[in-house]
Chain A
């Protein structure tokens, strides 16, 4: 979601694309919509829109603000349409490949050792994913992954590059292997989001751990206090307290259950000027063949040291520390809660209740 400034161009662009006519007057946008559009939006064929909430209702104007019905309908329609586009990136000025290759190398500042051996155009596929992190809060972002048309290589690209101007182009039938490219993009997406997912998991687990510790301490001590005060406490009372404890633990597990999901928003096929380079490593050694494109400026095949090259097609995965786990560590409070909540109120050994502060 975002402010009215971002909503306005979207709404006007949507209306234009849907064949509606409109003009602005008196702080409202007056729209004449085709019948089909009006039906889908649930409005009359002539209606007014207000971006300013204070103007909503004037002349029956529908509010176009976050959460409003009309805006939500427009967003839904736009998300269903326009999931696929084909374009062609204009050829940049001469020398772009050499400059880009040099700029991407961390250890050299000149073009020594870079030789262009071939220049051509290739199709790439951009997959835009919506990544959602959910527990008792929600965080979302879009993530763009570019693959080669054959799906053999993939890398992430900055959002600013996704909707660059492109001229009309047609993707020849059979040229791209959509499914292989998609599967490769998903694989890359998993790599790109790994750190973020791990951080989100750790945060959720920490919250769960804190909650579980507090709940256990409270109920276990309460039981102990009751036993201390009454030599023969009512079993019914004790069971009720234990049941409440386990219900609270189950609630905590549900509440802080971290999830990460991704959905594909759209795909863009781009015909892009590309170059094949012969690169002599700065530290010496045999020259290697590398590829670079005029759109993402991503160098493939050469040890470039570029920070954005998180994903290397066919290359070895970077070393990692201790393998992270999707489940709580053994013996942690969160793990205990998970076990106990599924066992029910009587599933816990009595001795385990004795717990210090």
Chain B
């Protein structure tokens, strides 16, 4: 559009100038005959349909996939759009859908043409999940940051804050005029002197959403910093804030709570679970099995190979070889069928030496010789004893194929779902499960974003080493909308790495009981910044059993401490933001 002229320039009386597009060219081309009244009416209708009337209502609902409409999310999105003008802290309690609320706000801006460039800064562990949710549920083409060039070329970008704040990304990110910046787990910005906070403050942005369930983690300084990042001056200056709103020297007790909360309402939306959004209880069941002698031998031999290869290769063998070893160890924990294929491939690979390849050949033969898995027998027994619809999760398609054959042989109907299916076939599988299949047999990709709350029992046939993946599985059924008690059944073999995993996740951080969404907050409090799988593998590949035990205990203690830190933060946030005013000030 080329401005024809601007009133301000031509008339001293002009108010906000009206820039009118130069339409002389197409006017000159008008013929004496028209395109016809029908086309003209369609033109008018198209313009009417595409008009934007402020934020009178949410336009995006019909175009969302797999998003259940919750009143609190709709109310939050409208409040952010209308009253907070796109700058807000979304501080819902865990599990109420902050990501959905942020997605709604973003989609509304996109539909109105107000956002063309968006940046999401999640923790590294949630980057892929953000991309998947934005793509699958909101049809927004977010991409993960791959190189520094992406800053200038990708209009919808997801980058971990840890990466974005570093050179050379920092300056590239800050050079881009973002329409909206979304920071997930925004309590990472609690320290205003930190690189995190300075980086986000330095971004050019029109709208900004900060997502955190715990805006107050250790003391009220953090709340001040978050609010000031979003809206400087909202809580006055730091000294004035301390004078007016902080009651104690440790800065954990607020003063003038009613007034403080009043000021926070101008920048923060916090929904609490309450009775209406309460989740039903979750029951955890363990099926701990003893492997058959052949399986035991295979498991021990594969583990010995992995330990030997890891110990000898540390720092020298290519990353690919290390990753392959991790995959192999995970697969043997799933089924002999999953491991057999990888063993066969490794036997043919140049990555491993001749001696290793000979060992791998023997292991591959041994894996193929195992025809039945004890875990599967226990699963069949469990399925045979229930009339419920059951979700069975495994990480591997080969395990899925095996399970499907044995379950169907028992006369139980199965809907299989995995990443290799087309979108239509996936929809068909979900529909079939909803209609008349008893078992939804699914790989990791199973049911992401799909509503499967009509079932309430899920089986972890194997355990991903990334605890967030386990949490996501549980989230398929234990989420808003579920009104019945949920049963989580974990199948695992004794004396395996899965037993370690169960000990850490179940007994130390109560993974199977925490609300979906809390796990990342707990793990975020771990001092060890490495991915959890890596920590676990490093322990598992220690050669001495005593050393393994000691390392495991240390990790367990660290997890307990991390959980305690998270609980403290949640309690403090609740005391400041939610508790009755007189109680908070006491």
Question: Which A residues fall within an 8 A CB radius of B?
Answer: 1-2, 4, 6-7, 9-10, 13-14, 16-17, 53, 56-58, 60, 63, 65-68, 74-76, 78-79, 81-87, 128-132, 134, 136-142, 162-163, 166, 170-173, 178-179, 182, 186, 189-190, 193-194, 197-198, 200-201, 207, 214-215, 217-219, 221-222, 225, 244, 247-248, 251, 254-255, 258-269, 320, 323-326
Contacts and interface: CB of A to CB of B under 8 A. Distances in A.
B51 A200 contact: no
A261 B12 contact: no
Interface string B233-249: 11011111000000000
Which 7 A-B pairs have CB atoms at the shortest separation, nearest pair first?
A82-B39, A218-B233, A85-B40, A65-B62, A82-B43, A78-B46, A201-B16
Interface residues of B, number: 81
Nearest to A265: B47
Contacts of A200: 16
Contacts of A128: 44, 47
Nearest to A195: B15
B114 A138 contact: yes
A140 B49 CA distance: 11
B446 to A, nearest CB: 17
Contacts of A247: 202
Given A4-B62, A13-B38, A265-B47, A260 B52 contact: no
B85 interface: yes
B36 interface: yes
B206 A255 contact: yes
Contacts of B53: 1, 139-141
From A75, A170, A217, A259, residue with most partner B Cβ within 10 Å: A75
Contacts of B205: 251
Question: What's the dominant secondary structure at chain A's contact region?
Answer: mixed
B16 A198 contact: yes
From A9, A141, A163, A269, residue with most partner B Cβ within 10 Å: A163
Given A139-B54, A172-B32, A197 B18 contact: yes
A137 B44 contact: no
A262 B20 contact: yes
A265 B46 CA distance: 10
Contact of A225 (B32, B46, B114, B239): B239
B43 A67 contact: no
A2 B62 CA distance: 11
B30 to A, nearest CB: 5
Contacts of A225: 237-239
A325 B427 CA distance: 58
B496 interface: no
Nearest to A192: B18
A81 B35 contact: yes
B385 interface: no
Nearest to A255: B206
Interface in B1-41: 1, 4, 7-8, 12-21, 23-24, 26-28, 30-41
A58 to B, nearest CB: 8
B322 interface: no
B43 A2 contact: no
B49 A136 contact: no
B142 interface: no
B207 interface: yes
B18 A86 contact: no
Given A2-B48, A10-B49, A138-B52, A260 B16 contact: yes
Contacts of B55: 137
A329 B20 CA distance: 25
Nearest to A77: B46
B466 interface: no
Interface in B491-537: none
Contact of A267 (B27, B51, B201, B237): B27
Contact of B232 (A86, A248, A325): A248
Contacts of B40: 82-85, 163, 266, 268
B562 to A, nearest CB: 33
B16 A53 contact: no
Nearest to A10: B45
Contact of B21 (A74, A75, A261): A261
A174 B50 CA distance: 34
A207 B87 CA distance: 13
Given A63-B63, A189-B18, A218-B232, A10 B42 contact: yes
Contacts of A268: 34, 40
